[in-house]
């Protein structure tokens, strides 16, 4: 973990908040990390993905970091800012959003436009830094979870849909990286197959590799997603 650091206070208020019609615009991310885990059947080390969720103030549910997209930043920068303010993490942000979702705030509808409606953009964030001190530490806890457990804890349908899309992207990326490694340097680590460039926000990097932009879903990634759906089918409903 990164050492303690003095952090700036989290942004508050709605003076710079972006709106689109009656929708309050929101940006967030699914922070994740990849670690090696022993397969209980083969005994071999395999990649295992965990995602990070944070607690909601005055509530006992867990959510992905997100918050208002303000008029002095891009939605990518907003997602990175929220990741640090709410969860104390920084990392590499996928340039392409997982998607956009319209939802209503069920706890305090007045914070999301007059009708209580939000339009949110979610990204995948590969965590490279995890800080011990962050702006909202006093109000939010954070927890690393296996995918199956994260599905079970997703309170809203839009969160489950974002997590499903995250899995699809992870499966697609894995296929691309494996192909590149086999064709060029089979023994190279996965991270070497990715080209990264820093954006304006110092809290994250945008992965701008052309290989990351995919619309279709390969048979391998469909099988990957279906596997997880079978695994979490009963708990995610």
Residue 12 confidence class, pLDDT cut points 50, 70, 90: low
Contact 10, 135 (CB under 8 A): yes
Contacts 24+ apart (CB under 8 A), 117-120: 117/22, 117/23, 117/24, 118/23, 118/24, 118/25, 118/26, 119/20, 119/23, 119/24, 119/25, 119/26, 120/25, 120/26, 120/27, 120/28, 120/66, 120/158
Question: What is the predicted pLDDT for the residue at 36?
Answer: 75
Would you kindly state where each structural domain of the chain is located, as residue ranges? 19-155+196-209
The model scores a pTM over 0.85: no
Average pLDDT, the chain: 74
Residue 188: the pLDDT is 34
Overall average pLDDT of the 208-225 stretch: 41
Domain 19-155+196-209, CATH among 3.90.79.10, 3.60.110.10, 3.30.1490.20, 3.30.230.10? 3.90.79.10
Q: State the pLDDT at residue 107.
A: 52
pLDDT digits (tens, 9 = 90+) for 91-145: 999 999 999 999 886 554 445 545 568 999 999 999 999 999 999 999 899 999 9
Tens digits of residue pLDDT in 28-83: 999 999 987 766 777 676 778 999 999 988 778 899 999 999 999 999 999 999 99
């Amino acid at each position: 973990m990164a050492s303690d650091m003095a952090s700036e206070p989290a942004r508050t208020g709605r003076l710079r908040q972006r709106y689109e019609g009656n929708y309050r615009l929101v940006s967030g991310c699914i922070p994740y990390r990849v670690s090696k885990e022993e397969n209980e059947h083969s005994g071999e080390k395999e990649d295992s993905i965990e995602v990070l969720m944070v607690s909601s103030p005055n509530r006992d549910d867990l959510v992905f970091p997100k918050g208002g997209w303000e008029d002095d930043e891009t939605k990518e920068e907003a997602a990175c800012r929220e990741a640090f303010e709410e969860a104390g993490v920084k990392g590499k942000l996928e340039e392409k959003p997982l998607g956009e979702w319209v939802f209503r705030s069920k706890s305090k509808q007045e914070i999301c436009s007059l009708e209580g409606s939000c339009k949110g953009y979610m990204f995948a964030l590969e965590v490279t830094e995890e800080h011990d001190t962050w702006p909202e530490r006093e109000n939010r806890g954070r927890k690393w979870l296996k995918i199956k457990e994260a599905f079970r804890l997703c309170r809203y349908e839009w969160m489950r849909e974002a997590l499903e899309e995250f899995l699809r992207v992870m499966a697609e990326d894995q296929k691309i990286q494996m192909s590149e490694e086999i064709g060029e340097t089979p023994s190279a680590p996965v991270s070497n197959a990715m080209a990264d460039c820093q954006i304006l926000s110092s809290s994250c990097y945008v992965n701008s590799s052309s290989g990351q932009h995919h619309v279709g879903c390969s048979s391998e990634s469909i099988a990957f997603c279906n596997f997880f759906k079978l695994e979490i089918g009963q708990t995610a409903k």
